[in-house]
Chain A
Amino acid sequence: MSTLHTVNKSPYERNALKSALDHVSPGDTVLLIEDGVLAARKGGAFVQALASAGCTICALGPDLSARGVVAEDVAEGIHTVDYGGFVDLAAAATRVCAWL
């Protein structure tokens, strides 16, 4: 009965990520996509908020690569998934909630 929350905006420009993290329930997953993946870079201002969100955090690999965030630069605890992984997460969730 979990929710997959997708976030597609940079946290440095919009509050989509903050709002998503404010409305997650235990057992949910947050998937960072498009500019949302910029939150996942280590050393960034939102890494701590992601770590303490109390749910699983994933980022879409192709979107990380496109923006030059290499594997070693993804903050600890954030899982990188490919497009197939995105589908798996959506299929495993009861509902998908997009934060845009």
Chain B
Amino acid sequence: MSEKKKFLYLNRKAPYGTIYALESLEVVLIGAAFEQDVSLAFLDDGVFQLMNNQDATATGMKGFSKTYRALGDYDVRKFYVETESLELRGLKLEDLMPITYEDEDDDYAEKPSLIPVSRAELAKLIAEQDVVLSF
């Protein structure tokens, strides 16, 4: 693929209850290898994927929350989080993992990857994409 395309991964499900969140993460990791313009959006129950202090040990399931924090190393640094979805669930941005990336253009300064957006802003974001992948 020669031309860079804008990919948006739309995440709307809570982790662990279904396989969607983990599958999304796998596809994001694969997609990152193709050097596209990747954005992630978290809305509805998808915001629970980013919760701090996740510990799946006792369930016997694979805990994958730490993987989100590694995505910055794969140039995945735009995590759009819908504020209406957070509010409805009694969550604040501070309740989510402090996901960051290193900005190579700014002496590798650590910068936040989480970008709070309103529902209207997210609608606009969807309308700017070449490809939308839903999970």
Contact = CB atoms under 8 A, between A and B. Distances in A.
B92 interface: no
B44 A25 contact: no
B119 A23 contact: yes
Nearest to B130: A95
B132 A95 contact: yes
Contact of B119 (A22, A95, A100): A22
A23 B130 CA distance: 16
A97 B132 contact: yes
Contact of B129 (A15, A24, A95, A98): A95
Most chain B C-beta atoms within 10 Å of own C-beta, residue among A19, A28, A98, A99: A19
Interface residues of B, number: 15
A49 to B, nearest CB: 15
Interface string A37-73: 0000000000000000000000000000000000000
A99 B133 CA distance: 10
Given A19-B43, A19-B44, A24 B123 contact: yes
Nearest to A28: B127
Nearest to A98: B134
A25 B134 contact: no
A3 B134 contact: no
Given A19-B44, A23-B126, A25-B127, A97 B119 contact: no
A24 B123 CA distance: 6
Contacts of A96: 132
Given A22-B123, A23-B123, A25-B123, 17 more contacts: A1-B127, A3-B127, A19-B12, A23-B122, A24-B123, A25-B124, A25-B127, A94-B130, A95-B126, A95-B129, A95-B131, A95-B132, A97-B132, A97-B134, A98-B132, A99-B12, A99-B134
Interface of A: 1, 3, 15-16, 19, 22-25, 28, 94-100
